[in-house]
Amino acid sequence: MSDNHVTTPGRIRPRRLRATQALRDLVAETHVRAEQLIMPHFVLPTQQGDEPIPSMPGLARLGVDNLVRTVESDLSLGIRSVLLFGTPEEGRKDASGSCASDPNGTVSRAIRALKGRFGRDLIVITDVCLCAYTDHGHCGIVEGGRVDNDRSLGLLAAMATAHADAGADIVAPSDMMDGRVAAIRDALDARGQSDVAILSYAVKYASAYYGPFRDAADSAPQHGDRRGYQMDPRNANEAIREARLDESEGADMLMVKPALAYLDVIRRVRETSTLPLAAYNVSGEYSAVKAAAERGWLDEAGIVRENLQAMVRAGADLVITYHAREALQRRWL
Ligand code: PBG
Ligand code: ZN
């Protein structure tokens, strides 16, 4: 009677299937495909322009012409989806972020240029949020030191319909106001834009990982922080409530953001909803990898591969990642 017979090596050896690359590939459970990747872009309010982003090595804010050129070369790598963030013209920010819904604003012009050039070969997703357009940097209208949820909804819906009118395929609200998916869906439908889909940033945490993005988009709050509307990192059950709510309001796809510190949340949302699920591999996650790789402290190819695989293994169908271009160009996947 030995109680160690189960662990005696001999009959069952998991290492058999790890012996060669071909065997490992044969039994691999997770595959990251180019079609799953979404490349974010920061768009300047000009035709020209290419401004490197210091805290995000390898990335730049692009004028519309350079954006079109870059997207064309990314398409040849297999990147068929982009997520656009706009920056308004100098001096155009105000308390209500009114230029966010300007039909000739940065994002609308970029959408028209991209869809005019690439048509149905390219999926154009736009971030819908006011923080890059308000002078106070919050994601909605501020009233008495607090973001007024319901007064912000109309502005978000107007921004979404402006993007839809310009030709966006998918709008992605990232503000975390309650009820914004319903408000945007109703506004799109009322405008005859019922084919435009909503990718909801359903589960978005108040995270320190957004730091580099706020430099790039010039969208840092001028007072306070976003904890009054973005989620508390301590909560996971709340993520399920948010995901269910947005699904019931008409979201076509859900997102968890950030990704790597929230793989448990990705898994739980995956098991709660059958909607396509996106993970946002955010700016701070990207910059941390870049900084360590520049110092020679980490092997960038290996880290990026492992991180992207982790998000997909956790349950993400789509991954929004600043690594998309390099990962494909340099064959890291
Ligand atoms: C706008 C928005 C943010 C990000 C996406 N949309 C910043 C924020 O909420 O402060 C972060 C993306 C990233 O860090 O890569 N609300
Ligand atoms: Zn915002």
- Position 244 confidence tier, pLDDT thresholds 50, 70, 90: very high
Give the C-alpha separation, 180 to 194, whole Å.
16
Instruction: Check: CB of residue 290 under 8 Å from CB of residue 58.
Output: yes
Question: What's the pTM?
Answer: 0.96
> For residue 60, which phi and psi values (nearest 5 degrees)?
-140, 155
Instruction: Check: CB of residue 81 under 8 Å from CB of residue 38.
Output: yes
- Position 21 confidence tier, pLDDT thresholds 50, 70, 90: very high
Q: In ligand 1, which atom is closest to the CA atom of 230? A: 9
Instruction: Check: CB of residue 34 under 8 Å from CB of residue 77.
Output: yes
The tens digit of pLDDT for each residue in 182-201 reads: 999 999 999 999 999 999 99
Q: What DSSP character marks residue 17?
A: G
Residue 200 parent element (H or E): strand 197-204
Q: How far is CA 72 from CA 101, 125, 242, 301, in A?
A: 26, 16, 36, 24
Give the C-alpha separation, 105 to 93, whole Å.
12
Q: In ligand 1, which atom is closest to the CA atom of 282? A: 15
- Please report which residue ranges of the chain form alpha helices under DSSP H: 21-27, 64-77, 106-118, 149-166, 180-190, 211-217, 237-249, 263-272, 283-294, 300-314, 324-329
What is the residue extent of each domain of the chain? 31-223+235-329
Residue nearest to atom 11 of ligand 1 (CA): 210
The tens digit of pLDDT for each residue in 89-120 reads: 999 999 999 999 999 999 999 999 999 999 99
Please state, as a whole number, how many other Cβ atoms lie within 10 Å of the Cβ of residue 37.
25
At residue 5, the pLDDT reads 59
Among the bound ligands, the one closest to the CA of 172:
1
Instruction: Check: CB of residue 210 under 8 Å from CB of residue 282.
Output: yes
The tens digit of pLDDT for each residue in 143-158 reads: 999 999 999 999 999 9
Q: Which of 39, 199, 210, 285 to mutate to test the pocket of ligand 1 (most atoms within 8 A of CB)?
A: 210
List, by residue number, the catalytic residues: 204, 257
Q: What DSSP character marks residue 94?
A: B
Among the bound ligands, the one closest to the CA of 217:
1
Asked whether the bond before 45 is cis by omega within 30 degrees of 0, the reply is no
Q: In ligand 1, which atom is closest to the CA atom of 175? A: 16
Which class is domain 31-223+235-329? Answer: alpha beta
Q: Kindly list the protein residues whose Cβ atom lies closer than 6 A to any atom of ligand 1.
A: 127, 129, 131, 139, 174, 210, 213-214, 219, 226, 282-283
Among the listed residues 203, 81, 206, the one whose alpha carbon sits nearest the alpha carbon of residue 147: 206
At residue 1, the pLDDT reads 46
